[in-house]
Amino acid sequence: MSGRAMRVAILGASGQVGREFLRVLEQRDFPISELTLMASHRTAGSTMDFRGKPHKIVEPSEKAFADVDIVLASAGGAVSKQWAPVAVQQGCVFIDNSSMFRMDPEVPLVVPEVNGEVLKNHKGLIANPNCSTAQLVVVLKAIHDLAGLKRVIVSTYQSVSGAGKEGMDELHVQTRAILNDQEHKPKKFQKQIAFNLIPHIDSFADDGYTKEELKVINETRKILGLPDLPVTCTAVRVPVVIGHSEAVTVDLERKVSPAQVREALANWKIVEVWDQPEQNVYPTPLDCAGEDPVYVGRVRRDTSSDNGINFWVVADNLRIGAALNAVRIAEYLLKHDLIAQKVAT
């Protein structure tokens, strides 16, 4: 990575992913000469610590982006829609964690270890994929390179942190209430989340899929560069705090053994294979929380298909699914000299 220090802004700094941005930037020693924290008026004026020093939160404005090279944004689609064009016009690289620009053909949708090469043609705006998509495509890319993908079936088991702090708070409040025989009406989720599963994330489309499921389907195709790949998804919210899990079935162009799949995954970037079920070795959300890799286990032949493989994928959705992937995009841009650093005025 280039040694040049960047002027970095975090848009949505006080949110769950914004705080994770700060942790990841510090842990990875990202070269920062100046840090600007932006959030809404509700938290503007307060401070957050980074590398042992307090930083005051400011509201986003045209002036606030003037002396910034890279923006890491996780403040929702409406905020990104408002401020991304402003930041890009001023010469910033805007890495957006919302869904606003993901399917725009002019905007690269990137997991660097899978399709980082598309960043060479970026125009200042770069999209970070859905949290479930990010961990999935890393594994699918390795398997596609091994034997060719024909079809993908995925069921996601998504933690409440995917719904932000309100989702995490609701799980905690409901759990305490139920254990103490108190009232526990749902607020953030459609139904009770404590001690329950909800097969409903985001709103329903006319075809019966939820928008979350369609994100996984369409984003997977775009990132892998396989626009006609048959993909289907069922997305489920589960009473887990951090860590998304996925049960995946793939049909392949060529027949391969589970051992070949394990070897391909073990040699792939940022993937760890935990697959000794006879010794209870397989990944769970508790194993992945706070960790960087995408974990894979339960690799086995799909006995209902000649060329099918089943496997289980787990990752920290706040990291690989959001903050870590965005920072890795910034690192890729620096390493390949794809950021035109602005001169402060």
Looking at the annotation, which residues are catalytic?
131, 244
| Complete edge-to-edge strand list for the sheet that includes strand 53-58 | 47-50, 53-58, 32-38, 6-11, 70-73, 93-96, 125-127
Per-residue CA distances from 302 to 182, 257, 276, 280, 307 (Å): 45, 10, 17, 20, 8
- Which tokens sit at 320? 């690989």
Measure CA 152 to chain center.
19
On the 0-12 / 13-18 / 19+ scale of CB atoms within 10 A, 276 is exposed
| Residue among 183, 147, 181, 189 at smallest CA distance from 164 | 189
CA trace torsion 295, 315, 1, 119 (10° rounding): 110
The CA distance from 322 to 22, in Å, is 12
Q: How many CB atoms lie within 10 A of CB 61?
A: 11
The CA distance from 220 to 231, in Å, is 8
The CA distance from 88 to 73, in Å, is 13
